[in-house]
Structure 1
Amino acid sequence: MVPPPRHAGSPLNTPHRLELRDVRIHLGDKTLVALDTEIAPGEVLTVMGPSGSGKSTLLAYLAGFLAPEFQAGGRVLLDGRDITALPAERRGIGLLFQDPLLFPHLSVAGNLRFGLPRAGADKAARIEQALARIGLAGFGERDPATLSGGQKARVALMRLLLSAPCAVLLDEPFSKLDTHLRQAMRRLVFERLREAGLPSLLVTHDREDAEAAGGRVIDLSS
């Protein structure tokens, strides 16, 4: 699995809205997901369920890389624009995974630079400001391999935000952190997403993740 691609999104702090209109995903004769909802700017919608319930399949459909063995219908709208048929790299959706997926051959600054749109000046200053915002000022030249798990997770989050997505999908991003780091990262991630006004969908099996997100919860097992 590779790090999420750069997105042709819009600047941070611009509110966005994600709509799932009669989205249905099937595997053979079995319906895995049936959703009709919308996610407001800065809202985190949590989708819960055990393994095999369709959580990750839903993310794959929204992100644009659903496996061919699944059948899906419905529409995905971002700011009123139908993105259902667009390829993944044109959807403007960012992803945060269980693993940070930092590029091992790039420095911390290089990883953040990858997230920045190609156009734009003073990238070095933006990277320094971004590192300061996540408590990693002066870490730009560090090798990602020298970072702790929590530090890597923070860099992955900031790389995502710098790519200026219009919506965010979170695939159990806290599951591999220890208890203390998990609590800290929940606060950081959800605060930053709200600040940026990004509609976000979190899939998890952890009830504490859902409580920390503070938004609506949809349980696929019910």
Structure 2
Amino acid sequence: MLRLENCKIQNGAFALSADLCVERGQSVAVIGPSGAGKSTLIEAIAGFRDLTQGRMTWDKQNITNAAPGQRSIAMLFQDGNLFPHLTATQNVSLGITHSKRLTADQTQAVTAALTRVGLSDLGNRKPAELSGGQQSRVALARVLVQRKDLLLLDEPFAALGPALKAEMLDLVAELVAETGTTLMMVSHDPEDARRITDQAILVADGMAHPPAPTQALLDNPPEALRAYLG
């Protein structure tokens, strides 16, 4: 379980409060108006922003001051963060090690991850030789080999067309179901949230609210969310 206890996160002049829990294995959307602090919340959970107040735990282990690499958390950013001079295989291998030489087990894990995301024949291609959707699959494969307990998505598929984005979301849903990974996904699109999450955290008016059922929250949104959804 992820627990944020009486937390405050500072981002410049902006402050976000959070007191909530996310159960292990849940798929949770993080929704709310633009600029409300959705990315600020997951950046703090990943360890890229410090708490100015409160305590954060994962499975009862205090991770409040843990560095990002010490947390059992993987994060997919909006741009995918692929290295253009490396092949798909090399980009994925960075999820395991920065060494150019992989062990047999590491090589097998990278190959299996590329196969799982449908890129078994494209490992030698560099990002510029791949489509946008294929690049997203490489970034997802790199997350997959990390074998972390919690996956954070900061709209990594926002630049994709509707059909391809839906395909990637469905793939994410399959992967987290297979591995039991907990998912938190920032979304500006309520249909994305409906598609693959059961719970949703509303971020609005300087507060990240405890998770509520996604369908119920979007069908009967509070005023702050209603104004955003239109």
Query: TM-score, length-normalised on structure 1?
Result: 0.82
Find the aligned partners of 2:104 and 2:125 in 1 and give their Cα distance. 23
Q: RCO higher in 1 or 2 (8 Å CA, sep ≥ 6)?
A: 1
Return the match for 1:77 from 57, 66, 69.
57
1:33 and 1:54 in contact (8 A); partners too? no
Q: Of the candidates 99, 103, 106, which is equivalent to residue 79 of structure 2? A: 99
Whether the 8 Å CA contact 1:39–1:200 is kept in 2: the answer is no
Q: After superposition, what is the alpha-carbon deviation per residue over 1:138-166, rounded to whole angstroms, capped at 9, x for unaligned?
A: 11111121100111101101101101222
Question: Partner residue of 2:163?
Answer: 180
2:191 corresponds in structure 1 to 208
Q: Give the corresponding residue for 1:39.
A: 23
Q: How many residue pairs end up in the alignment?
A: 202
Contact 2:92/2:145 (8 A) holds in 1: yes
> Deviation string for 1:19-39 (max 9, x for gaps)?
223333356886533231223
Secondary structure at 2:111's aligned position in 1? Answer: helix
Q: What is the CA–CA distance in structure 2 between the aligned matches of 1:60 and 1:27, rounded to whole Å?
A: 10
Given residue 52 of structure 2, which amino acid in structure 1 is its aligned partner?
A
Cα deviation, 1:61-111, whole Å, max 9, x if unaligned, reads: 1111227xxx63222211221111111221121101111211111111111
- Please give the residue correspondences for 1:105-124 in structure 2 after superposition, counting only pairs within 5 Å: 105-117=85-97, 121-124=104-107
Alignment pair present for 1:197 and 2:177:
no
Alignment of 1:129-168 (within 5 A): 129-168=112-151
The CA distance in 2 between the partners of 1:197 and 1:37, in whole Å, is 17
CA distance in 1, matches of 2:22, 2:173: 18
What is the CA distance between 1:123 and its match in structure 2?
A: 2.9
Q: Distance in 2 between matches of 1:139 and 1:76?
A: 40
Partner of 2:68: 88
Give the whole-Å Cα distance in 2 for the aligned partners of 1:87 and 1:192: 26
User: Where in structure 1 are there 5+ consecutive unaligned residues?
Assistant: 1-16
C-alpha contact 1:33 1:220 (8 A) present in aligned 2: no
Root-mean-square deviation (CA, aligned residues, Å) is 2.2
More helix by share: 2
Identical-pair percentage: 40
Of residues 195-204 and 156-165 in structure 1, the stretch that sits farther from structure 2 once superposed is: 195-204
Contact residue 112 and residue 162 of structure 1 kept, 8 A: yes
Q: Is the 8 A contact 1:25 1:31 kept in 2?
A: yes
Aligned to 2:212: none
In structure 2, list runs of 5 or more residues that go unmatched.
205-223, 225-230
Residues 28 and 122 of structure 1, relative CA distance in 2, 3 Å threshold: closer
